[in-house]
Amino acid sequence: MASDLFASDAKLTPYWWDRTPRPALPDVAPPKAVDVLVVGSGYTGLSAALQTARGGRSTLVLDAEDAGWGCSTRNGGQISTSIKPGYEELARRHGPETAARIVKDGQNSLAWIGDFVASEQIDCDFKVVGRFHAAHGPRHYDALALRVANQPKDLGIEAHMVSRAEQRGELGSDAYHGGVVYPRHASVDPARLHQGMLDRVLTSGGGVVAHCRVTALRRNGGGFEVETARGIVSARNVVVATNGYTGEVTPWLRRRVIPIGSYIIATEPLPRETMARLMPKARVISDTRKVVYYYRPSPDGSRILFGGRVSADETDPRVSGPRLQAEMVRLFPELAGTRISHSWCGFVAYTFDELMHVGEQDGLHYATGYCGSGVGMACYLGMRLGQQVLGLREGQTGLNATSFPTRPFYSGNPWFLAPSVAYYRWRDRIAA
């Protein structure tokens, strides 16, 4: 590799894939007809499929690549409530009742994922470690404090402020201006979580076929005719779970999601004392930058996984790796010279209102737009979506009550992304 910051055996695949390689599924053609066909085998698709398969519907999941090839096995494994806008902002847009329901959806997703992992006994290093969300400027600390103070009390959101003077108890860096701790946020090995879900779909009777891209969707009577790389399948219901990889097959959704690359590295193992000094509570960490950095210790506590976006345009993990390492060293100067063992990326889906969306359009069921924060929420909304396909009332969420915005002339090619990212990175730098 070009930079000597890469270890000699560095990989351009996710760190998680070393322990959990992409699954070898039987190489079979899809059946001719099913009740429910799910496009995309990430958390959203598998979680929906688990509901419909267990609900007695013949269920087939198709993926254009390996099972779980998308974000669901590439992410940082940080679990939050995923709802970015605060309650006040949501109340301005949607009224207090829907706002409270959306905030509650976030809380429910966080509680649900812990219960799900425990009840299904999924071996995935799930731990409620808490999050330190750090303020990159003094104004941002004040804004965090205001947001914490203005949360509706009856929603029971746990959070406490940590001043700059107390910060070293959370993080071995003086680069921030204090922050907030969310004690219920969690960490997980994302590929182990995905594998656990995949195993449960298969044992519940669901079928999963990899390397079988869906190339066209046509209405056919009460259902759909689904054209795939390996033949036509007819389905009563179709679930679209393609998130940051949404393509031309679903133009309505493509006009509503903005695919953005997120980049991440793993360091080589670090001395135990260094890890204890830098991340004394082993929390997941993020910051208030608009172009956020997120990082955490690996589940075995031996190395740092550091993610973010380090260029305006999409780039190559060979380029993003050393840049992420440089940002990490800016926060933790003692890590200068630390080498990269893995550098990789994936495409997340942003939306124009910074909210995820779930519902039905032209007969297609969908859940998407987690805005870079979908580990818990994609699992949860996929589950709710599966319930919606089954016609169950409990499938409805507060997020179903919001409309899914687009912008004039936007058809899925985010030409505005590079200048926007450049602008926000500049603002973040000034604030810091």
Ligand X SMILES: Cc1cc2nc3c(=O)[nH]c(=O)nc-3n(C[C@H](O)[C@H](O)[C@H](O)COP(=O)(O)OP(=O)(O)OC[C@H]3O[C@@H](n4cnc5c(N)ncnc54)[C@H](O)[C@@H]3O)c2cc1C
Q: Which is nearer to ligand X, 320 or 402 (CB)?
A: 320
When binding is defined by CB under 6 A, the residue of 3, 7, 58, 65 that contacts ligand X is 65
The single-letter code of the amino acid at 163 is: S
CB–CB of 398/356 below 8 Å? no
Of 63-71, 165-173, 389-397, 404-412, the window that binds ligand X (rule: CB under 6 A) is 63-71
Q: Which is nearer to ligand X, 91 or 264 (CB)?
A: 264
Q: Which is nearer to ligand X, 180 or 377 (CB)?
A: 377
Q: Which is nearer to ligand X, 86 or 374 (CB)?
A: 374
Of 69-77, 92-100, 118-126, 163-171, the window that binds ligand X (rule: CB under 6 A) is 69-77
Please report whether residue 360 would count as binding ligand X according to CB under 6 A.
no
- Rounded distance between C-alpha atoms, residue 41 and residue 65, angstroms: 9
Number of residues this chain uses to bind ligand X (CB under 6 A): 43
Contact set for ligand X, span 87-126 (CB under 6 A)? none
214-220: long-range pairs with CB below 8 Å, 24+: 214/39, 214/62, 214/64, 214/249, 215/249, 216/249, 217/249, 217/250, 217/364, 219/362, 219/363
Contact set for ligand X, span 25-44 (CB under 6 A)? 39-44
Question: In the bound complex, what is the minimum distance in angstroms from residue 344's beta carbon to ligand X?
Answer: 7
Q: Which is nearer to ligand X, 201 or 375 (CB)?
A: 375
Q: Residue 228 pairs with which residues in a beta bridge? A: 214, 231
Q: Which is nearer to ligand X, 91 or 117 (CB)?
A: 117
When binding is defined by CB under 6 A, the residue of 63, 125, 287, 428 that contacts ligand X is 63
Of 29-37, 231-239, 371-379, 411-419, the window that binds ligand X (rule: CB under 6 A) is 371-379
Of 61-69, 107-115, 328-336, 398-406, the window that binds ligand X (rule: CB under 6 A) is 61-69
CB–CB of 263/307 below 8 Å? yes
Contact set for ligand X, span 71-90 (CB under 6 A)? 71-72, 74-78, 82
Contact set for ligand X, span 226-255 (CB under 6 A)? 241-245, 247, 249
Q: Which is nearer to ligand X, 91 or 325 (CB)?
A: 325
When binding is defined by CB under 6 A, the residue of 62, 102, 257, 355 that contacts ligand X is 62
Of 24-32, 65-73, 105-113, 169-177, the window that binds ligand X (rule: CB under 6 A) is 65-73
Contact set for ligand X, span 317-346 (CB under 6 A)? 345-346
CA distances from 322 to 1, 164, 171, 264, 402 (A): 11, 29, 22, 10, 40
Question: In the bound complex, what is the minimum distance in angstroms from residue 394's beta carbon to ligand X?
Answer: 21
Please report whether residue 348 would count as binding ligand X according to CB under 6 A.
yes
Contact set for ligand X, span 132-191 (CB under 6 A)? none
Within 10 Å of residue 5's Cβ, how many Cβ atoms?
Answer: 21
When binding is defined by CB under 6 A, the residue of 85, 374, 386, 395 that contacts ligand X is 374
Looking at the chain, how many residues does it have? 432
Question: In the bound complex, what is the minimum distance in angstroms from residue 112's beta carbon to ligand X?
Answer: 14
Please report whether residue 127 would count as binding ligand X according to CB under 6 A.
no
When binding is defined by CB under 6 A, the residue of 262, 325, 338, 351 that contacts ligand X is 262
Over its C-alpha atoms, the chain yields an Rg (Å, rounded) of: 21
Binding interface with ligand X (CB under 6 A): 39-45, 62-65, 69-72, 74-78, 82, 213-214, 241-245, 247, 249, 262, 264, 294, 307, 345-346, 348, 370, 372-375, 378
